[in-house]
Amino acid sequence: MDKQQILKQYFGYDSFRSGQETLIDSILGGGDTLGIMPTGAGKSLCFQVPALMLPGITLVISPLISLMKDQVMTLNQAGIHAAFLNSSLTQNQYFKALSLAREGRYKIIYVAPERLLTDSFLEFALEAEISMVAVDEAHCVSQWGQDFRPGYLKIAEFIDRLRVRPVVAAFTATATKEVRDDIIDLLHLHEPLVTTTGFDRPNLYFAVHSPRDKYDTIKRYLENHRGESGIIYCLTRKYVEEVCSKLRQDGFPVTRYHAGLSDGERRQNQDDFIYDRSPIMVATNAFGMGIDKSNVRYVIHYNMPKNMESYYQEAGRAGRDGEPAECILLYGGQDVITNQFFIDHNTDNQELDPMTRALVGERDRERLRRMTFYCFTNDCLRDYILRYFGEYGSNYCGNCANCLTGFEEVDVTQIVRALAGCVLSCRQRYGVNVIIDTVHGANTAKIRQYRMDANPHYGELAKIPTYKLRQVMNFLMLQEYLTVTPDEYAVVKLTKKSAMALEPKEPILMKMAREQERPEKKEKAGRTRKGAAGFVLGREDEQLFEALRRLRSEIARKEGVPPYIVFSDKTLSHMCVIRPGNRNEMLSVAGVGEFKYEKYGEAFLKCVAGFEKEQADRTDFEGPEFRSMEYGEPQDYENF
């Protein structure tokens, strides 16, 4: 079979997404490859399709047990023989899997990086015909990445030990230029084809709020999104326990995940989430990497993460099926202090030498600063994220809170001059809070101790609220009129652009929101679902969608697999549009391949046919003169 036939028969798709075919062709041509693709863009297909075409075995190096289990389960459901080798297997299970691998039973084998150089695995690998080594989550090889994994440094040594060097393909969703260079260097990629398909996820809506009561905000949001699956990320175990407990008391189907739980409880809670027994997960960042749950409709950050890489990776767990999803960050000032504490007391880099460890700490503080600016920018949030990763857009996406909020241009020249002047006159010795308190005229012990009450700008902006002064200060840092030192004390410093703030030649304008917080979106009765392909489901389609979803849940329970493994929400939505009536029509639905049709196709055809018959019978009973063409509701209310 060629790549198109494999794509259709096993995965149910008629065409490749952007970048996939280029990466597949590179691998099939025998070249090393690096693919940088956003979450949900189909990275796995880029090594799974060629794995079925190459003569030998493909080893997929993956960082987490949950990621391996999920992908192997998905492949087996599609009729592809795959296995994983990790610490979740007993010794007997592990050696049995190795024995079957030697017999050629598996085309794809997932393995943890720490297993590569063990005697038993190395003995197998030296005998086997390995055509490709695919490195998933490749950013883990870089100490400059957000999930550095020392075990990934063993990959290059493992490949060098093989009798014949296979094709090496590496994939990641989030990587700055420094991380990309590290991946190429540390994995010893040979003149790789590097393909970046872009970091944008158009189906995701982004918002940042600074509510007085974070829990109340979450509660109201969940009340408006009942029946949907989502993740709530918290910075600490304490917050996880607190939020999860309150949500349970308020009747939400919620579970929790953090490193303080036993292995058994973490596994059970993760399964409850994946199988939709508890569709709401409250967790620390210990949860989520490798979770391929396609129907997550929202990701809420109860606290600000430590950097943009972590935020975008965690937020990207929403809407993996391409359907609309929401990513909401609830910012509070304490979040910065907590993250700073974690950076200053980081124990993850003890293997590094003191100089490198200091550089990593400095880099982490700079990334925290950039993350904080995201929470205060009035520009397009999506554009801010993309610019961070080296992409540049139009600064208007139409699908983030800032783009959908009314702004006005405000002249902040006098505020800017006073803040920059205060920094200059105190000889750049103090932090943000001292500068703001000085110009606002605060009479605190610290201000008196530092003699800032004698500063020429003391009290100059006493009539302006401190929250507004803080907004302008963040604007100055975002626009690089001022900066802060990347160390524990974060002292405000002047920059090359500071002269433009001290003696402006023209007014300095800043966008400020007319309203401080965007009101919660109200759910409308019978709201429509818009699919990634642009189709919209009306009320009757939504009813069919729910019927198909019930059937999917019933099949998933019987087979002991997560519902999205049977069919994704996107596939069910496409069924509602096409309304397949036979085998060929069902095979035209995105995500329905030959193997899945043989397993599930007839059941879903019967469900569609039964629904259409029920709708037809209801129409005949009520009479066409009383029904709306679009919604199937009484049209002439005055005659009743």
Q: End of a domain among 336, 356, 388?
A: 388
Cα→Cα distances 289→136, 173, 285, 286, Å: 11, 11, 9, 8
Residue 398 falls inside a structural domain: no
Q: Is the Cα dihedral 178, 179, 180, 183 positive or negative? A: positive
If asked whether residues 307 and 382 sit together in one domain, one would say yes
If asked whether residues 68 and 182 sit together in one domain, one would say yes
DSSP-assigned letters across all residues of 365-415:
HHHHHHHHHHHH--S-HHHHHHHHTT----S--SSBTTTTS-EEEEE-HHH
If asked whether residues 174 and 80 sit together in one domain, one would say yes
Of 146, 156, 219, give the one whose Cα is nearest residue 179.
146
Q: What is the pLDDT at residue 523?
A: 42
| Predicted TM-score (pTM) of this structure | 0.70
Helix axes 237-249, 214-223, angle to 10 degrees: 50
DSSP-assigned letters across all residues of 56-76:
SEEEEE-S-HHHHHHHHHHHH
* Residues counted in the chain: 640
If asked whether residues 212 and 149 sit together in one domain, one would say no
Residues in contact with 498: Cβ distance below 8 Å, sequence separation at least 6, in sequence order: 420, 423, 424, 481, 482
Q: End of a domain among 451, 481, 513?
A: 513
Please state, in angstroms and rounded to a whole number, the distance separating the CA atoms of residues 566 and 486: 49
Angle at CA of residue 341, ends 339 and 347, nearest 5°: 100
> pLDDT per residue over 306-323, tens digit each?
999 889 989 989 998 888
Residue 64 in contact with residue 110, Cβ under 8 Å?
no
If asked whether residues 235 and 374 sit together in one domain, one would say yes
Residue 401 falls inside a structural domain: no
Distance from the first to the final alpha carbon of the chain: 63
Cβ burial 559-583 (10 Å sphere, 16+ → b, else e): eebbbbbbbbbbbbbbbbebebeee
DSSP-assigned letters across all residues of 284-349:
-TTS-TT---TTEEEEEESS--SSHHHHHHHHTTS-TTSS-EEEEEE--HHHHHHHHHHHHT--TT
Residue 394 falls inside a structural domain: no
If asked whether residues 503 and 533 sit together in one domain, one would say no
If asked whether residues 414 and 311 sit together in one domain, one would say no
Residues spanned by the domain of 351: 204-388
If asked whether residues 454 and 507 sit together in one domain, one would say yes
Residue 42 falls inside a structural domain: yes
Residue 426 falls inside a structural domain: yes
Residues of the chain with pLDDT under 70: 144-147, 289-290, 347-352, 486-489, 513-538, 617-640
If asked whether residues 565 and 582 sit together in one domain, one would say yes
If asked whether residues 488 and 561 sit together in one domain, one would say no
Q: What is the pLDDT at residue 361?
A: 81
Residue 487 falls inside a structural domain: yes
Please report which helix (H) or strand (E) contains residue 216, including its range.
helix 214-223
Q: End of a domain among 180, 196, 212?
A: 196
CATH number at residue 442: 1.10.10.10
Residue 591 in contact with residue 9, Cβ under 8 Å?
no
CATH number at residue 117: 3.40.50.300
Residue 395 falls inside a structural domain: no
Q: What is the pLDDT at residue 522?
A: 43
Q: What is the pLDDT at residue 104?
A: 84
Pairing status of strand 82-85 against strand 57-61: unpaired
If asked whether residues 100 and 181 sit together in one domain, one would say yes
If asked whether residues 78 and 184 sit together in one domain, one would say yes
Total domains in the fold of the chain: 4
Token pair 């393995």 is at which residue? 111
Q: What is the pLDDT at residue 537?
A: 65
Structure tokens at 530: 């818009």
Q: What is the pLDDT at residue 344?
A: 81
Residue 396 falls inside a structural domain: no
